[in-house]
Structure 1
Amino acid sequence: MSQLQLKNGDTVALISCSDGIAWGKRNSVDELIQHLSGWGLRVEEAKTIMQTQYGWSGSPQERAAELNRLCADPNVKAIFDISGGDSANGILPYLDFDQIARSRKPLFGMSDLSVVLNAIYARTGVGGYHYQVMNLVRQHGEQQRQKFYATFFSGGNDLYDLDFEFLRGEDLNGELIGGNLRCLLKLAGTPNFPHARGRVIMLEGLSGRLKRIISMLDQLAQTGALEECSGLLLGTFTELEQYGERDALLDYVLKITATRGIPIVHTTGIGHGSDSGCMILG
C-alpha cells in the first residue's frame, strides 16, 4: 500500500473502536486536536469516542457504523483510533468489509486495534498503521510530533526508522501482520485471522508476565502460524520487561522456532511505549 501523505486542509477523523476514552482524559483528546489543527488539518470526531455505558464508546453496532461511515466519506483522508482495551472484536460482525475494500482508507491504531487492523487485512487486503496517535501528547510528545510531521507531511521515514537487532538470521522479508499478541489471538479460529504463509508476524504486549506470554505464544504456534511465517518481529512486552524477564522470553521464542530456523528481529521501537514508532501492516 502507498504511504499516507497529509497536507494543509485535509480532513482526518478520530474514533474509539475499542473501549471509550475516560472523561477525565478529555483534555488529552482536546490537546491532540489542537496539534492536528495547528498543522492545518480539519479534525472530525466520531460519535463514538468517549465512555458511555459499560465503558464503551457506544454499542458494537454503533462503533462499527461510525467506522463504516468514516471509511465511506470521501472527504476523510485518514482515521485515527485513539482507544485500546478489550472490546474491539465486538464490532467485527458489523463492519462493511466491501466498503472498506473500496475506500482503502488509512486506519491507525494499536493494542486492541490489532483485532480490527488484522481483520480488515485478512478480509480485504487493505493494510493499516500500527501506531497510536495519542503518543503526540504523551511523555515523548514533542519528539513524536516532530517525527509524525516529518513522516506524514514531509514524506520522510522518521516514524518507520527503528533500531533493531537480529536474534537469528540476517534478512527478514514478507508482508507484515500481527501487533498485540493477546489481541491478535482473539481472531484465531475465525475468518478474520490473517494467514501467516510467507508473512512476517509482529508481536508486542502490554500486560502479562513470562508464563502468560509463553502460553499465548504456544497458542499462536498451535494455530500453525509459526510453521508458515517467514519470520518474527518482536517488539516490547511492557509488564514482562518490568520484571526483568525479556531475555527469558527471547530465549523461549528461539527455542520454539529452532526447527525451522526462521529469522527473528527484536526492536524496542514497537510496543506500548510513548516513544514507539509506526509499522504498516501489509
Structure 2
Amino acid sequence: MPENGNRRIKIMEPGENLYMGGGILRRGDRVGLSCCSNGLLEADKGSLELLKERLALIGLETVESPFLYRGVTAFSGTGTQRAHALMDFYRDETVKAVFDVSGGDMANEVLTDLDFEMISASDKIFFGYSDLTTVINAIYTKTGKKSGLYQLRNLTGPCWQEQFSQFRETLMEGGSMLNNFSFHFLRGTRMEGTVLGGNIRCLLKLAGTQYWPDFTGKLLFLECNGGEVPQIVAYLNQLSQIGVFCQISGILLGTFSRMESRGLHPTVEEQLLRMIRPELSVAKTFQIGHGSDSRCLMIGDHIRIHQALQEQKPPA
C-alpha cells in the first residue's frame, strides 16, 4: 500500500462514473461562467481569458455572466442581479453546465432569489468552491441534486496541465480522474453515505436557515483556506453544539491551508478527534480544498471509502 510518511493511503474508486456513464460535456457545448460571491478584480481578466482559450481547445464555448467583475466595492452586482444571471444559465438550453469562478464572502446573498424548482427540473450540474459551499448545499437541501465542489480556474493555475487532463478525461470522456482522491484514515476503517459540506466557515452561514441540510446519516466534508486555531475551534464547536457530530456517519477532512502551511497546533485533526464520539470514522485527504491541484468532490453524491486491502498507486 502506498505510504505518505507513516500514513496509509487508499484511493477512492467510485463504482461508476459519477456522471452516469459518460461525460456531461461534449465538443461544441456551451458552459456558463457565473459569479455568485465577491466580484472578480480587473486584474483577473487575463487569467479568465486564458481559461476561455483553454476550454476552447477542447471545443467548449463559454458564456459569461454580465456580473463577473467588481466595481469600486466587492460587489459585481446586487444579490438579485447575480442570482438572476445564474438562473439565466438554467433557462438557456444551450448551456450544459455552470461553473462559478468566484469566491469570498457573499454567495449566500443570492439564495433567496434562486428558482430551486427550475434547478430541480434541470439536468445541469453547478460547480463552485469555497464560498459557493452555500449555494451547493442549498441546492442539495432544496432539490436533492448533487453539485461539484471545484474551481474551474484551476485550469489556469500552477497545476493546470494535470488539471486540464483530468477535467477533459472526466467531464468530457466519462472517466473519473478528477473525482478520484487519495486519503488515509485517522479513525475507523470505512465510511459510506451521501457526502455534504465543503468550506467549514461558509457552510456555517446556512445554520438556522431553510437551506441547512439534514445531516442525519450523511458524511460531512470539511476544508478551509484561512482560519487559524481560534477560528477552527469556533467552527468545530458550533458544528458540535448544533448537533451535527451526533447526526453524521463519518467525516472526511480536506486541506486546511493556513493551519497546515504554518504548522499550527493543536491541529484540526487533534481538535476534532477530541470532540466527536469514538465510533465515528474520520478520514483525511490532501487532494480536496483550495489547492490549485484540488480534485472535484461531488456534494450530494453517495460515496464509499474504505481501508485498502491491496497496494494501489496514487492517481496520476
* TM-score when normalising by structure 2: 0.86
Q: How many residues are paired up?
A: 281
Q: What amino acid is aligned across from residue 294 of structure 2 in structure 1?
A: S
Alpha-carbon distance in 1 for matches of 2:118, 2:251: 31
Alpha-carbon distance in 1 for matches of 2:100, 2:267: 33
Q: Deviations over 1:22-47 (max 9, x none)?
A: 00110000000001111111211111
Q: Is the 8 A contact 1:232 1:263 kept in 2?
A: yes
Show the 5 A alignment for 1:52-201. Answer: 52-201=71-220
Segments of 5+ residues of structure 2 without an aligned counterpart are 1-17, 301-316
Q: Report percent identity of matched pairs.
A: 39
Q: Is the 8 A contact 2:30 2:61 kept in 1?
A: yes
Q: Which runs of 4+ in 1 moved over 6 A?
A: none
Q: Deviations over 1:187-234 (max 9, x none)?
A: 000010111101101000011111211210100111111100110010
* Equivalence for 2:46: 27
Q: CA deviation at 1:126?
A: 1.2
* Equivalence for 1:219: 238
Q: Deviations over 1:147-182 (max 9, x none)?
A: 111111121111112110011111111101100000
Alpha-carbon distance in 1 for matches of 2:113, 2:179: 32
Alpha-carbon distance in 1 for matches of 2:203, 2:190: 24
Q: Is the 8 A contact 2:33 2:65 kept in 1?
A: yes
Alpha-carbon distance in 2 for matches of 1:68, 1:154: 27
* Equivalence for 2:222: 203
Alpha-carbon distance in 1 for matches of 2:39, 2:265: 31
More helix by share: 1
Q: What amino acid is aligned across from residue 282 of structure 2 in structure 1?
A: I
Q: CA deviation at 1:16?
A: 0.7
Alpha-carbon distance in 2 for matches of 1:19, 1:248: 29
Change (3 A) 1:29 1:214: same
Deviates more, 1:157-166 or 1:109-118: 157-166
Match of 1:27, SS state, is: helix
Q: CA deviation at 1:254?
A: 1.1
Q: Is the 8 A contact 1:18 1:84 kept in 2?
A: yes
Show the 5 A alignment for 1:223-238. Answer: 223-238=242-257
Q: Does structure 1 residue 42 correspond to structure 2 residue 61?
A: yes
- Kindly indicate whether structure 1 or structure 2 has the higher relative contact order, using CA contacts under 8 Å at least 6 residues apart: 2
Q: What amino acid is aligned across from residue 153 of structure 1 in structure 2?
A: M
Alpha-carbon distance in 1 for matches of 2:36, 2:162: 26
Q: CA deviation at 1:248?
A: 2.5
* Equivalence for 2:286: 268
Q: CA deviation at 1:106?
A: 0.5
Q: Deviations over 1:30-68 (max 9, x none)?
A: 000001111111211111111135212210000000111
* TM-score when normalising by structure 1: 0.96
Q: What amino acid is aligned across from residue 6 of structure 1 in structure 2?
A: L
More strand by share: 2
Q: CA deviation at 1:279?
A: 0.5
Q: What amino acid is aligned across from residue 58 of structure 1 in structure 2?
A: G
Q: CA deviation at 1:134?
A: 0.2
Q: Is the 8 A contact 1:19 1:84 kept in 2?
A: yes
Segments of 5+ residues of structure 1 without an aligned counterpart are none
* Equivalence for 2:13: none
